[in-house]
A and B are shown apart, each in its own frame.
Chain A
Amino acid sequence: MTTTPKRTSRPKTLTHFSRFMMAMFIAVFLLIGTFLAIPTVQASPQAQATSTPAPQVTPTFDLQRLEKPVIASDNAEQLKKGSIVYWGICMACHGDRGQGLTEEWKDAFGKEDRNCWNVGCHGYDHPPQGFLIPKDKIIPAVAGMGRLRRFQNAQELHDFILANMPWWSPGKLTNEEAWQVSSYILSLQKVMPAKFELAETNASAIRTQYAVPQPGNDRPAILILTGILALAGIGMIAQDLRKNKIRFPERPNFFHHLHPPTIPAIQARLRYTLGAGGLAVLLCLLLLVTGILEMFYYIPTPEHAAVSIEVITSLVPFGALIRNLHFWSAQALMIVMSIHLLRVVLTGAYARHRRLNYLIGLGMFILVALLDFTGYVLRWDEGIRWALIVGTNLLKTIPWLGNSLYQLAVGGPEPSLSSLERFYTWHIFVLTLGMIVLGGWHIFRVRRDGGISVPPPDQRKDNMRISRFDLVQREVLMMVIAGVVLLFVSIIFPAPIERPITQASIDIYNARAPWFFLWVQQLLKLGDPFLWGIAVPTLLLVLLASIPYLLPQTNESEHGQWFPRGNRLAQVLVIILGLTLIILTLLAIMPTTQL
């Protein structure tokens, strides 16, 4: 009945070994005793009801069940470590299968240890003096049908274990051990996906009451896709090198028709345009597509928002890729738009009839900043908490309009269910629609204003023109290269997500503003929130907007080159502005000295 446990090559601790010897001794003793006793010893009905091999003698030690567990099938390190932590700390009370302190489980320990409220418990990892369980204490089962109902997901289970377990010394477990033991308990509960490592970024997606489908490993597929796209890019570059020999089709397709039949070659110089406008278009399209895809799984309610994001990133096939692409495209758009704005000012391209388009572009910049902020808030996790509170409270400081604006953005007296719904609507509908309208208008104005700014035909050094076939080919190449870079970034760097906001949590996880607003956060440290948080940034915007209207401009012959003489003042202004923002951002990142 008692089999000799397999000896592992690892040396066991003295406690363990002596415990084993003692148990073995008692087991043998009892075995002999059984043969000598009256041969009508019946197994208890309790033991018969369970599916485990019924012990023929009760009470006795069931060594197999007390043996250190070995998990071979799953290669998750966390689960294996969790099984050891559970075995050492939790198993004595909660049972080897998570059944709780049942009569049947007490029998596995033998006579002396049956009454945990009379005899101090001395487990493998217990304090030397042991501990007594009060008789009225109910020790819950931690696995089985309907168990763990008080916890929605692994995150809540982990938080409870970390704060309350073990019962005789709450807080004894480290955060990592709490994850390990949560993983093991959920595997006893049969809801833990195989090879899954619980962490704060994915635990809310693992439910306690039902098993979610096993997530697959889609990384190879993504790498293959990226590789094929990169090969296509190389093929296109090879074609481009031989471009004067390429035969173009006679009939332009739909995408060709979005472009003029020919444009001056000097309008298509990458070192002049930096390709920033085209890249911004690509990023906007990517954001639109990935954003729509995220909407299929995102649930805009405070209880579900962060959880649904964790489901997308840790369970849904290719979900992490789509979310990372959305995130990194948004970050890249912010940078590409800044470069585009700088390029336009540093080449004086906004002059005369183009100044309306400059304003439209600036309007899109504001929309993108708002889209980035609302999108960031949609995470509704601990990471956005303070940015949300600060951002919305800033609105309140505006004289006269403040409270109405706050109501418009937040939809109530404080951030809540209605605020998330509003941020969602602003993000996916209102602001996006605004971007589509302004974006379409912006591109139309570029075309109407004669394309990229260059000198008039009689003042050009080179009057070569390129066809739309060539232009589209270059655009596609640019998109392929940008796509490959974005895919690589998305594979390597995951978009941030933290635990869902709960009323109970007071720890400040991250009180830092999103990076594109760090400069505002730094300004806010200077004093009055309205002055530094609203008035100064607005003033900077007005200053930018007034450049084509108040400052000297370039003349036509100066167009199509960097740093023309005509608008030096504007150039100096934006460079100072840009450097100031960078310095403020760096100051905000630098660690503050502790007092």
Chain B
Amino acid sequence: MKNLSRRDFLKLSTNSLLALTGALGIGGLIRYLSYQFDPTPPSEFDIGPATDYPLNSHTILAHIPAIVIHDKKGLRAISLACTHLGCTIEQRNFGFECPCHSSRYDMNGKILKGPANRDLQILRVAESSDGNLHLFTS
């Protein structure tokens, strides 16, 4: 560094400035591309009055997706999104199976067979002030 002449210094600083411009440009690019305009999806769903879910009924709500089960143990909801990579699982006689990678779950959402390694998410259901049931996905 002792031998850094004036012209080498000039060249070094010019190149650094150009590199800095490039780095800033890339930073701006990342900011530009990571803007999110669309609204975040709702985490609360109005699923209608409780009378729509009588005792011993299984109701699939495809838009959430979730299944609402009303049995002796009460009213509960299980998410139908596979815990592996998120496909909507299908009902089978043993419980549920994922059409994408064949993960299996029992009727209560417990994992039976991989590749998924977690049970299905149990969703909270609560009656709100307007008398309708509300389902919470988070």
User: Could you tell me which A residues sit within 8 Å of B by CB distance?
Assistant: 207, 209-210, 212-213, 218, 221-222, 224-225, 228-229, 231-232, 235-236, 238-239, 242, 245-247, 293, 296-297, 311, 315-319, 321-322, 480
Binary contact track B11-34/A, C-beta < 8 Å → 1, others 0: 101100110110011001101110
Chain A contacts for B2, CB-based, 8 A: none
Q: Which 8 A-B pairs have the closest CB atoms?
A: A235-B14, A232-B17, A210-B39, A317-B31, A316-B35, A318-B32, A318-B28, A229-B21
Are A235 and B7 touching (Cβ within 8 A)? Answer: no
B94: interface (CB < 8 Å): no
Are A311 and B37 touching (Cβ within 8 A)? Answer: yes
Least CB distance, A504 to chain B, in whole angstroms = 25
Least CB distance, B134 to chain A, in whole angstroms = 13
CA distance A317 to B33 in the complex (A): 8
Chain A contacts for B17, CB-based, 8 A: 228-229, 231-232, 235
CA distance A442 to B35 in the complex (A): 39
Are A212 and B37 touching (Cβ within 8 A)? Answer: yes
Least CB distance, B2 to chain A, in whole angstroms = 18
CA distance A212 to B40 in the complex (A): 10
Are A239 and B10 touching (Cβ within 8 A)? Answer: yes
B51: interface (CB < 8 Å): no
Using A235-B13, A246-B11 as known contacts, say yes or no to A224 and B18 having CB atoms under 8 A apart.
no
CA distance A480 to B21 in the complex (A): 11
Chain B contacts for A316, CB-based, 8 A: 32, 35, 37
Are B32 and A315 touching (Cβ within 8 A)? Answer: no
Q: Among the interface residues A212, A235, A238, which one has the most CB atoms of the partner chain B within 10 A?
A: A235
Are B18 and A232 touching (Cβ within 8 A)? Answer: yes
> Smallest CB-CB separation from B24: which chain A residue?
A225
Are A235 and B10 touching (Cβ within 8 A)? Answer: yes
Chain B contacts for A207, CB-based, 8 A: 39
Are A317 and B39 touching (Cβ within 8 A)? Answer: no
Least CB distance, A302 to chain B, in whole angstroms = 18
Are A221 and B28 touching (Cβ within 8 A)? Answer: yes
Extra A-B contacts (11), CB below 8 Å, given A232-B21, A239-B14, A245-B7:
A222-B28, A228-B17, A231-B17, A238-B14, A293-B29, A293-B32, A316-B37, A317-B32, A317-B35, A318-B31, A319-B35
Chain B contacts for A231, CB-based, 8 A: 17
Chain A contacts for B25, CB-based, 8 A: 225
Chain B contacts for A235, CB-based, 8 A: 10, 13-14, 17
Are B32 and A236 touching (Cβ within 8 A)? Answer: no
A-B pairs with CB below 8 Å: how many?
A: 72
> Smallest CB-CB separation from B28: which chain A residue?
A318
Least CB distance, A90 to chain B, in whole angstroms = 27
Are B32 and A319 touching (Cβ within 8 A)? Answer: yes
> Smallest CB-CB separation from A235: which chain B residue?
B14
Chain B contacts for A238, CB-based, 8 A: 10, 14
Chain A contacts for B11, CB-based, 8 A: 239, 246
CA distance A221 to B17 in the complex (A): 15
> Smallest CB-CB separation from A222: which chain B residue?
B28
Chain A contacts for B31, CB-based, 8 A: 218, 317-318
Chain A contacts for B10, CB-based, 8 A: 235, 238-239, 242
Chain A contacts for B39, CB-based, 8 A: 207, 209-210
B138: interface (CB < 8 Å): no
The 8 Å CB contact of A236, one of B14, B36, B37, is: B14
What are 5 A-B contacts defined by CB distance under 8 Å? A207-B39, A218-B31, A236-B14, A317-B31, A318-B29
CA distance A172 to B137 in the complex (A): 47
Are B32 and A228 touching (Cβ within 8 A)? Answer: no
Chain A contacts for B24, CB-based, 8 A: 221, 224-225, 228
CA distance A218 to B36 in the complex (A): 16
Are B20 and A228 touching (Cβ within 8 A)? Answer: yes
Chain A contacts for B35, CB-based, 8 A: 213, 297, 315-317, 319
CA distance A231 to B21 in the complex (A): 10
Least CB distance, B105 to chain A, in whole angstroms = 34
> Smallest CB-CB separation from B12: which chain A residue?
A235
The 8 Å CB contact of B7, one of A221, A222, A239, is: A239
Instruction: Report B36-74 residues with CB < 8 Å from chain A CB.
Output: 36-37, 39
CA distance A297 to B33 in the complex (A): 9
Chain A contacts for B13, CB-based, 8 A: 235
Chain A contacts for B29, CB-based, 8 A: 293, 318
Chain B contacts for A218, CB-based, 8 A: 28, 31
Least CB distance, A501 to chain B, in whole angstroms = 21
CA distance A238 to B13 in the complex (A): 11
CA distance A225 to B32 in the complex (A): 15
Using A225-B21, A242-B7 as known contacts, say yes or no to A232 and B14 having CB atoms under 8 A apart.
yes
CA distance A209 to B18 in the complex (A): 44
Least CB distance, B14 to chain A, in whole angstroms = 3
Are A225 and B18 touching (Cβ within 8 A)? Answer: no
Instruction: Report B108-133 residues with CB < 8 Å from chain A CB.
Output: none
